[in-house]
Amino acid sequence: MTTLTEATGEAAARETPARRRRRRVDHLPYLLLLPCLAIIAVLLLWPLGQVVWMSFHKLDSVRQLRGDREWPWVGLANYAQILGDPFFRTVLRNTVLFALANVALTMILGTLVGLLLNRLGKKMATFVASCVMLAWATPALTGTIVWKWIFDDTSGLVTWLFNKLPDGLSTALFGRSDWTGYGWFNDPLMFFAILTLVVVWHSFPFIAVSVLAGLKSVPTELQEAARVDGAGPWKVFWSVTFPVLRPVFGILVVLSTIWDFKVFTQQFVLAGGTQDRSTFMLSIYSYAEAFSPPPKYGLGSAIAVILTVILLVVTALYVRMVLRQEDE
């Protein structure tokens, strides 16, 4: 069709190029977008609506999902059940505290490393950056498995290190001197500490590299001028570097928050499945309710909806930030 229009000589040639282009503001872009839109609609947006719909039903068997059995409508009963459950409040508290701690630690470590990379000599910076990339590139799954091995209760490196501590010191500090057989993952607090270590290890590289990229756009003259005026490194950072990096920081904080709120793989692998309820956070709680026998798809959906709503609020902030920057 288009080839034909272009080839039909004189009539088209007499039109101005602008008019021709306007006439061509045709269906082509929409046609090109169609497959993409269809996929996003069917695989992301439709399920998003579906999960809300499911959360209003009592769904306890796969046969209901297949459509062989009815879906009894229960209104807000699933939500009432969850919100009234003290366990949910524990899970919510765990999730929020975990996310806050991880975002803070990731941002601080990532920023420090970014600043450090900016100050190092070229060779050293390349070396350190390459190592940092390794942590980033490692899949969540295998990264977590390695950390689990490092904390193994018999031959793990950390167990060995703690055994190396002078017995007196170890007893005074932790109340035990023999660490062989100590279950690092049994105590919920210890579990969360190790999970934090794993998640921060995975996520600080992205922050470091982004901050470094941002730093490259800070004119060094500004920092030098501030230094000449007698500002210390702390002052230089807060009054020169930070204001320039602020938009980047905003986006990084929001992205980290979103990621840390829904940590799943690391937790699943570290806990060895979904049996240990004491360390549940929202995403794994939703999954366990839905898929651990007996299945409760409706209840699991309600938890998923709550998680989504929390993240939606954070996302709204993110989109506003990105749009503001595209405008600038």
Partner 1 sequence: MMKKVALNGAGLLVALFAAFPVYWMVATSLKPNREIFSSTPRPVPAEPTLEHYREILTGNLIPGVTFADFFLNSALVALATVLLSGLVALLAATAVARFRFKLRTTFLIMLLVVQMIPLEALVIPLFLMIQRLGLYNTLPSLILTYLGFSLPFAVWMLRGFVAAVPKELEEAAAIDGASRAQTFRKVLFPLVAPGLVATSIFSFITAWNELIFALTFINDQQKYTLPVAMTFFFGRDDTAWGSVMAASTLFTLPVIVFFLLVQRRMVSGLVAGAVKG
Scanning residues 184 to 243, which ones bind partner 1 (CB under 8 A)?
Answer: 201, 205-206, 209-210, 213-214, 216-217
Of 134, 172, 173, 193, the one binding partner 1 by CB under 8 A? 134
Of 8, 19, 23, 40, the one binding partner 1 by CB under 8 A? 40
| 114 contributes a contact to partner 1 by CB under 8 A | no
Site for partner 1 in 243-302 (CB under 8 A): 247-248, 251-252, 255, 258, 261-262, 264-265, 268-269, 272, 283, 286-287, 290-291, 297, 300-301
Residues near 262 by beta carbon (within 8 Å), at least 6 away in sequence: 282, 283, 307, 311
| 124 contributes a contact to partner 1 by CB under 8 A | yes
The site that binds partner 1 (CB under 8 A) totals a number of residues, namely 106
Closest separation in Å from C-beta 24 to partner 1: 9
Cβ 294 vs Cβ 60: under 8 Å:
yes
Of 18, 36, 189, 228, the one binding partner 1 by CB under 8 A? 36
Cβ 128 vs Cβ 116: under 8 Å:
yes
Closest CA to 268 of 257, 284, 256: 284
Residue 26 or 172 having the CB closest to partner 1: 26
- Between the alpha carbon of residue 149 and those of residues 159, 205, 270, the distances in Å are 10, 22, 10
Span near partner 1 by CB under 8 A; candidates 25-33, 80-88, 171-179, 182-190: 25-33
User: Is it true that the peptide bond before 294 is cis, omega within 30 degrees of 0?
Assistant: yes
| 165 contributes a contact to partner 1 by CB under 8 A | no
| 100 contributes a contact to partner 1 by CB under 8 A | no
Residue 226 or 303 having the CB closest to partner 1: 303
Cβ 121 vs Cβ 129: under 8 Å:
no
Q: DSSP alpha helices (H): ranges in 175-239?
A: 188-216, 220-228, 233-236
- 84 vs 3: CA distance, rounded Å: 65
